[in-house]
Structure 1
Amino acid sequence: MVSFYDPDEGRKKKRVDREAARKRREKRREWAANLEGEHAISAAKEAALKQLDRQDRSRGELVSKLKERGFPLEAIEVAIDRLEEAGLVDDERYARMLVRTRFNERGLVGRALIEQLRKKQIPPAIIDAALEEVEHVSLEESAREIAARRARAMLGLEKQKQVRRLTSMLARKGYPLNVCYSVVNQVLQELNADGDE
């Protein structure tokens, strides 16, 4: 016998599942809030380790996640301190890794990198130290590489559109506007010179 999908039943089931999930979260929060002493610390540490299993996180992110789950603040602080002592939570290492990967994979610099690190709740002093990772890199060279790659895909567009799209793309990646305009003009001139030959 064939079983057909009934949209009304499907919607009800999803609502029930969401409601059940919300109730489970509330129960977990109540349970976590009622923990005391070493039990609270070990439960907070276990929850933090589960977060770290999924991906590396900053101290601020872990504090936010554990507060959201209802753990007492004192237990959170002690648990994260223990993880820092074990070397599992290290904001400096995490910030440097983020700067390297965001620069190498996405071409982010300056403001865009700072914004990414702030979202990850990295302290300002550590942000400044982490940005030294890409200080030695020439903004013009990296912007030129990114713009040249993207410009090839825009060959059929009119020049104004190319300029607007390339400069806005570089600006979103954190490059200063003067660098954006000069690099885009150079790349488009080179591209047009190659196209004329």
Structure 2
Amino acid sequence: MSSTDETAAPGTPQEQTLERLRAAVARAQAGEPIQGGQGAPSAPSGPPPPETPDDDADPRAVARAVVLRALTGSPKSRAELERTLRRKGCPDDVAAEVLDRMEHVGLVDDEAYAQMFVRSKRTGRGLARRALQHELRAKGVDDETASGVLAQIGVDDERDVARELVAKKLRSMHGLERVVQTRRLAGMLARKGYSSEISRQVIAESLDALPEHQRD
């Protein structure tokens, strides 16, 4: 068996370190600070309490474990990971160091995250650039990165998606007056971030094509 095998006999320094790290990760997930014994509340006067097995866990190792666990669930922006580490009580300098390393090895990449996010939201919800910019900002993606990704969406692309949204919505609006259909469609597109110009054009074209609105 390899000397680095994690199944080594209990009590080896390696196993003790692994157990401390596991305990520290569990403590972090429970909402306790990632401090590695530093910055904890002052102990009362008198003899110090016995040291718990995970008090000397490396806060950087714990922070890395928390980040990796967060990324396993779904991709995250750097700002989201910073907020997660802050909630766990991770010192800002440790969080910055760990996240810098994660960026260096490609595990944290806001541009790749933004591209994935945009594809998902356009496919699933049909969001336009304006709404996507707002949501990326809320996720902590800086405006320069977001703008670079969103620049790949052309006006024709937005118009095509808007047509699909309108066509789908119209299936449940048969028989309504044109003014009512127009108002509801415009509201739907506005909530998804489409400009008034695209909305007017797409709605007019779509309604004109309906048999119920064609002149005899």
User: If the TM-score is normalised by the length of the shorter chain, which range does it land in?
Assistant: 0.7 to 0.9
Once the two structures are TM-superposed, the CA of residue 132 in structure 1 deviates from its matched residue by: 2.0
Length-normalised TM-score, structure 1: 0.78
Output the amino acid matched with 1:104: T
- Note closer, same or farther for the CA distance 1:49–1:27 as it changes in structure 2 (3 Å cut): closer
Q: Aligned partners of 2:30, 2:70: CA distance in 1, in Å?
A: 19
What per-residue deviation string (whole Å, max 9, x for no partner) do you get for residues 127-161 of structure 1?
11110231364332321221112112110323222
Q: Aligned equivalents of 1:41 and 1:60: distance in 2?
A: 18
Provide the secondary structure at the position in 1 that maps to 2:75.
Answer: coil
Does 1:29 pair with 2:32? Answer: yes
Q: Write the distance in 2 (CA, Å) between the matches of 1:109 and 1:86.
A: 32
Q: Does the alignment pair 1:104 with 2:123?
A: yes
Higher relative contact order (CA 8 A, sep 6+): 1
Q: In 2, distance between residues paired with 1:130 and 1:150? A: 28
- Residues 66 and 26 of structure 1, relative CA distance in 2, 3 Å threshold: closer
Residues 162, 85 of structure 1: alpha-carbon distance in 2 compared, 3 angstrom cutoff? same
Larger Rg: 2
In the aligned structure 2, how far is the partner of 1:148 from the partner of 1:129?
30
**1:163–1:184 CA contact under 8 A, matched in 2:** yes
Runs of 4 or more off by more than 6 Å in structure 1?
A: 24-27, 194-197
The one-letter amino acid paired with 2:107 is L
Q: Which amino acid aligns with 1:110?
A: R
Match for residue 105 of structure 2 among 76, 86, 91: 86
Identity, % of aligned positions:
34
How far is the alpha carbon of 1:38 from its aligned partner? 7.9
Alignment of 1:192 with 2:211, yes or no, is: yes
Q: Is the 8 A contact 1:114 1:127 kept in 2?
A: yes
Q: Map of 1:30-69 to 2, 5 A cutoff?
A: 30=33, 32-35=34-37, 39-69=58-88
Shift of 1:104: 2.4
CA separation in 1, counterparts of 2:215 and 2:174?
12
Please tell me whether the aligned partners of residues 159 and 202 of structure 2 are also in contact (alpha carbons under 8 angstroms): yes
The structural deviation recorded for 1:91 is: 0.4
Shift of 1:70: 0.7
Computed over aligned residues only, the root mean square deviation of the Cα atoms, in angstroms, reads 2.5
Instruction: Name the one with the larger helix percent.
Output: 1
| Aligned amino acid, residue 29 of structure 1 | E
Is the 2:36–2:58 Cα contact (8 Å) retained in structure 1?
Answer: no
Aligned ranges 1:145-184 → 2 under 5 Å:
145-184=164-203
- Between the aligned partners of 1:50 and 1:103, the Cα distance in structure 2 is 27
Unaligned residue ranges in structure 2 (runs of 5+): 1-26, 39-55
Count of paired positions = 173
Partner of 2:132: 113
| Partner Cα distance (2:167, 2:175) in 1 | 15
**Partner of 1:127 in structure 2?**
146
SS in 1 for 2:84: helix
Normalised by the length of structure 2, the TM-score is: 0.71
